Chain A
Amino acid sequence: MKRLLPLLVLLLGAVYLASPFFRTPKSDFDLAGFGRIPVVANGRTKPLDSVARNTLLLLQGRQRLVTPEGASLTPNQWLLDVFFRPQLADTYKHFEIVHPGVLDVFGLAPEDGAGNKRFAYLQLVPKLEELDRQAGLAAGVEAPVRTAYQRAVLNLRDHVILYQQLKHSLVMPDGSDFLGDLLRLQDNLGASIEAVRNREAGKPADTQLATFAMEMGSKFLRMEQIGNLLVVPPASASAGSQWEKAGQTLLGTFQHRVVNVHTLTFAGLQHTWKNQQPEQFNTLLSKHRAEWERAHPAILKKTDTETRFNQASIFGRNTITLYVLAFLLAALSWLKWPEALQRSAYYLILLAWVATTAGIITRMWLEGRPPVTNLYSSALFVGWGSVGLCLILERIFRNGIGSVAAGLTGFCTLLIAHHLSLSGDTLEMMRAVLDSNFWLATHVVVITIGYAATYLAGFLAIIYVFRGVFTRSLDKATADSLGRMVYGIICFATLFSLVGTILGGIWADQSWGRFWGWDPKENGALIIVIWNAIVLHARWGGIARTRGIMAMAIFGNIVTSWSWFGTNMLGVGLHSYGFMDQAFVALVAFGASQLALIALAYLPKERWRSVTALK
């Protein structure tokens, strides 16, 4: 049993990790096929599936949505309703509002919302003008000095606009029979244009037809002005033609004398979704898909991969659970069945690490970029790097410490990544300043590994303190090996943070003609280097012994967090690309917890439960 346990754990873990692929929602509609439709949003081509997921995360902080009737919707079902049944979607509570001041604008109380914080568009409609006015006031204040209320108001205004934009992206959301109208227009296109021209010229005209054509024209114009997704692909790859909004293409109808097939498909999808006709819906989708496969196979290759990547949710709950399980198993191994449990934990970590590796590679392929391009991906990469280091440590020392640290850091970084993903598309386009694959691949990757290693040293030190103070399991041998681990990892961290920092300087010199500019992020990186140097010199000079080194390593967590997140919160300098608001509280709390741990480390040795084991 004990020998088979690790393999069993590995197997169950693998099945669990793959389980999202087998989970398909019960529906007669080809929801997945709808999610695979490519569009352009935020400057990049992506499947509608990503649009649905990212928008939901942005609006309400999670992908799950429950209708007022209690039905649970997948992101694609939600998006279909937003596009095609907006009257229903307007009742869905998907706008998260937590700031009491913003609630006051609408005269709402937390109890009016789902989960005390999510509200429906219909609830907001009466006071949208006031929201716009408040947002206008807030926008007049410079971003770094805005209050929490001002930020919340602006946020909500942006979310409402985004929702409106989505609604106008495929068809006109006014409840009319858009398909019928389009078909009528198509059949009478020549006559309609003629009628409009004649009426303009004051000649006798078919007034009814002219009015109809003018009405359709103004609907198209509205869609063109409000809609945000580019949904009609270029007719041919070479002609220099661009992606267009549905409204834009429809306006061209009068010029090209033909209603574009993509826009007709969307209208057809609306018709069949509104009337709940799954068969016709699916037929339309598969025809549309066939056309795509003929015309743009290269785009489909990317967007289909992204859809599968979304579905796998590699950086989601399942992987997080694996890290937690591995952590528990490895920690348990210090009490019972050391070998079997340590091996099980090691396998789980390995499994999670291989999965995240695959995830990061997929992201790199989708973006055509090195692994770290924004704060979100840096969190993934910090986790990946430190778990990788832990695997090496565990391989060398085989005492479960590596697995515990891996579980801890893997869990924390994925949690951070999850919170960072709430600000929108994580595969965003690079701003011009940062657009250099060479430097992203060298400076950014090296410095991020430096962060990962510094954190790892800190977490190893936390394990030392916890085991020493709260358990009797920290014997001399374990303490020695932990000391060596921390020392080795700090050496590693010094090397990478130093080289990474200097590479950053060289990037600055190459691009801007100056090596060092005392920018907050540069300073943060420098502080990490100096801190690591202090730890090493203190050890070499005998100024700090094991306990001191451990306390200093824990302080390294604060230093690294400051550099990673704190500097971005200042909102100044060339690196302020990752500005965040609420994370500040989390950062302060984390810093305080680390200080408490340092205090714990300096508890007199007699108070440590491992006091006898350490002798």
Chain B
Amino acid sequence: MRDLWDSFVQFFTSLRVTVVLLALSIILIFAATLDQVNLGIWAVQEKYFRTFFVFWNVKGFPVPVFPGGYFIGGLLLINLVASHVYHFRFAWKKSGILLTHAGLILLLVGELLTGLWQEEYQLRLDQGQTRNYSESFRSNELAVIDATDPDWDQVVAIPEERLQDRGEPVQHERLPFRIAVRAYYPNAAVQSREELGNPSAPPPANRDIGARLAIIPLPITYKPNERNLPAAVIELLGPSNVSLGTWVVSTMIVQPQTFDYAGRTWRLAMRFERAYKPYSLTLLKFSHDRYIGTEIPKNFASKVRLHSEDGSTDREVLIYMNNPLRYDGLTFYQAGFDNNDTTTVLQVVKNPSWILPYLACIMMGLGLVIQFGLHLFAFVAKRRHAA
């Protein structure tokens, strides 16, 4: 038993394993870089880094072909910690190495936490528009809104994932009906049946605009500047499974569909997942400067008013390239523009572990300077001695 433990320890603390793991990580990163041309940056992160294994589809079955980011990173972390625990003897000569590796551990942990905690949203504002929510890049939701009170909306948001599996109808305490998904398309266009010239085909739904639409499924896109626009056919079920009708919901249908039921007014909308904030942003002015006589962009800037609900904050902010707004644990940065320079697109990022890389950088840089500095001094002293 003791032998087994020893060889176990020896394996995990060996430099050979370090080198092999590092080499594997190079291959992984290289392959992931190449695959970005096909998959785009988001899908690559999921496929190569935020996973224990990289899978290949062989005849429809996912086959693990290479260790993924979590696997290699995890083993490296174990290797690193284990060798320091088992070979730890403090000496000033080793302080640089210790510091560097401690920084590295911090960096790896930080990247793991980022992977777990980081959230990215988008905030689109037209000139003069005010919004108190940002929208997800990739996630969507089905919003069921109780709009009876003209001053106040009661929203029940159902995440897209819940629509994907067409199992039990969705039930919610605030809703007097249940929602059954009859069809779901991860990416689809909706078009008027008349325009399509195919009025004889049965409509996908019987209520509201759904009766006049056709759903055209599209392949899922991975391009970084495109997003999937899901659509679904849902049926609302009242008590004892009485059908209230079927609706087509899609992120392409901007206007919510309204109906009355149980003495209340309801709205239905499939939309980009929203994150509401206790404050709002108003776009005062977007400016897009170019270098004189050219189309080369010199600067993009959004002048916004930041106003918090409790009234404690009310100020104007200028967000431009390399100068984001940091507020409430979020970072708002200038990501794009649209509509002839009258719409700004801000990226909103939440990353609670943002401080770790800064610390790691200082520790590793300092550690290497100490380590190599010691080497250099020893080398110079030796040469002096020899001369």
**Interface of A with B (CB < 8 Å)?**
40-44, 144, 228, 230, 242-243, 245, 396, 428-429, 431-433, 435-436, 439, 484, 488, 491-492, 494-495, 498-499, 502-503, 505-507, 509-520, 523-524, 526-527, 530-531, 533-534, 537-538, 540-541, 543, 562, 567, 570-573
Contacts and interface: CB of A to CB of B under 8 A. Distances in A.
Q: Shortest 9 CB-CB distances between A and B: which pairs?
A: A43-B291, A513-B331, A541-B15, A513-B349, A502-B361, A43-B294, A436-B322, A511-B322, A495-B368
B298 A491 contact: no
Contact of B292 (A230, A498, A524): A230
Interface in B160-216: none
A537 B15 contact: yes
Given A432-B299, A513-B347, A572-B36, A538 B19 contact: yes
A573 B298 contact: no
Of B33, B41, B299, B331, most buried by chain A (CB within 10 Å of CB) is B33
B47 to A, nearest CB: 11
A244 B300 CA distance: 24
5 contacts: A42-B296, A228-B293, A431-B296, A513-B333, A543-B15
Given A432-B321, A506-B358, A518-B32, A492 B372 contact: yes
Interface in B8-25: 14-16, 18-19, 22-23, 25
Contacts of A573: 36, 41
Given A429-B291, A431-B296, A502-B364, 20 more contacts: A43-B292, A144-B37, A435-B322, A484-B379, A491-B372, A498-B365, A502-B365, A506-B361, A509-B351, A511-B333, A513-B332, A513-B351, A514-B351, A515-B110, A515-B114, A516-B114, A519-B41, A520-B33, A534-B22, A572-B37
B294 A42 contact: yes
Given A243-B293, A491-B372, A527-B26, A432 B300 contact: yes
A396 B383 contact: yes
Contact of B369 (A245, A495, A571): A495
Nearest to B349: A513
Contacts of A245: 293
B297 interface: yes
B258 interface: no
A527 B30 contact: yes
Contacts of A531: 26
A531 B29 CA distance: 12
Contacts of A432: 297-300, 321
B36 A520 contact: yes
Contacts of A433: 321-322
Contacts of B293: 40-43, 228, 230, 243, 245
B372 A543 contact: no
B365 A518 contact: no
B276 interface: no
Contacts of B291: 42-44, 429
B29 A527 contact: yes
A44 B111 CA distance: 41
Nearest to A566: B33
B32 A523 contact: yes
A523 B29 contact: yes
Contacts of B321: 432-433, 435-436, 511
Contacts of B330: 513
A245 B292 CA distance: 11
B129 interface: no
Given A436-B322, A495-B372, A511-B322, A505 B22 contact: no
B78 interface: no
A541 to B, nearest CB: 3
A533 B371 CA distance: 13
Nearest to B350: A513
Contacts of B34: 570
A505 B299 CA distance: 22
B22 A540 contact: no
Nearest to A487: B375
B323 to A, nearest CB: 8
Contacts of B294: 42-43, 429
A494 B368 contact: yes
Nearest to A439: B322
A453 to B, nearest CB: 12
Interface residues of B, number: 66
Contacts of A537: 15, 18-19, 22
Contacts of B298: 43, 429, 432, 435
Interface in B304-353: 321-324, 330-333, 335, 347-349, 351
A574 to B, nearest CB: 9
B365 A512 contact: no
A512 B349 contact: yes
A538 to B, nearest CB: 6
Nearest to B120: A514
A43 B298 CA distance: 10
A483 B16 CA distance: 21
A512 B351 CA distance: 11
B206 to A, nearest CB: 41
B49 interface: yes
B102 to A, nearest CB: 14
Interface string B91-118: 0000000000000000100110010001
Contacts of B299: 432, 435
A509 B357 contact: yes
B376 interface: yes
Interface in B360-387: 360-361, 364-365, 368-369, 371-372, 375-376, 379, 383
A242 B292 contact: yes
Given A518-B32, A530-B26, A572-B36, A491 B360 contact: no
Contacts of B19: 534, 537-538, 541, 543
A530 B25 contact: yes
Contacts of B22: 530, 533-534, 537
Contacts of A517: 41
Given A42-B296, A512-B333, A513-B347, A498 B368 contact: yes
B364 A498 contact: yes
B351 A515 contact: yes
A540 B32 CA distance: 29
A518 B349 contact: no
A460 to B, nearest CB: 16
Contact of B33 (A144, A507, A543, A570): A570
A516 to B, nearest CB: 6
Contacts of B360: 502
A506 B322 contact: no
Contacts of A509: 351, 354, 357
Interface string B48-75: 0100000000000000000000000000
B44 interface: yes
Contacts of A516: 111, 114, 357
A503 B361 contact: yes
A6 to B, nearest CB: 22
B45 interface: yes
B378 to A, nearest CB: 11
Contacts of B25: 530
A431 B297 contact: yes
A573 B37 CA distance: 9
A46 B16 CA distance: 57
A144 B224 CA distance: 14
Given A488-B379, A514-B351, A518-B49, A429 B296 contact: yes
A347 to B, nearest CB: 23
Contacts of B358: 506
Contacts of B361: 499, 502-503, 505-506
A491 B371 CA distance: 9
A520 B40 CA distance: 11
Contacts of B347: 512-513
Contact of A40 (B292, B348, B364): B292
Contacts of A515: 110-111, 114, 351, 354, 357
A468 to B, nearest CB: 23
Given A43-B296, A506-B358, A534-B23, A514 B369 contact: no
